[in-house]
Structure 1
C-alpha cells in the first residue's frame, strides 16, 4: 500500500489535506495549533485534540482543502 503524505489517521478519524486547494488562510494553525502545526513534520497531529474538536476546525476550512471521515469501528 502506498503511503500518502497528505493523509493522517488515528483510530477514530482520517484527515486528508489537498495543498492545491488550500487558500492558506491559516485558520487551522491559528485556531487549533496543537493539531495543525507549523514547521513540524508531520504537520497534522491528530492526537493534539479530541476528534469532535478537530472536526469542528476542519469544517471552518474556507477552501475545503481539509476533509475528514470517521473510521469504522469493528462491532463484535
Structure 2
C-alpha cells in the first residue's frame, strides 16, 4: 500500500508519495511558500501559480511529487 496523499488546489492537484521521496529538498528550496514543512498541510497548491508549481514538481528527482493541472493547461504525471 503506497503512502500517497493528494493536495487539492483550484488550478492544480499535487500528489505526494512519501515512500518514494528521497528528501532532496528541491521542492522546499524552490517554492518555500508552497512546500513548507513547518505547516500542516505542508503543501499549499494555491500559494503560487499552477505553472510555477508544475515546473518545480518536474524537478523532483525521485518522482515522489506529481500533479494534475485543473486550469485547462497540459498535465503531466510521472509514471511509476
Larger Rg: 1
Structure 2 residue runs without a partner (length 5+): 73-80
Task: Report the number of matched residues.
Answer: 70
Tell me whether 1:70 sits opposite 2:69 in the alignment: yes
Structure whose residues are more often helix by fraction = 1
The two structures, once aligned, show a CA RMSD in angstroms of 1.9
Q: Any conservation in 1 of the 2:21–2:62 contact (CA below 8 Å)?
A: yes
Instruction: Give runs of aligned pairs for residues 1-76 of structure 1, distance below 5 A.
Output: 6-71=5-70
Q: Relative contact order (C-alpha < 8 Å, sep 6+): which is higher?
A: 1
Structure 1 residue runs without a partner (length 5+): none
The 4+ residue runs of structure 1 with deviation greater than 6 A are none
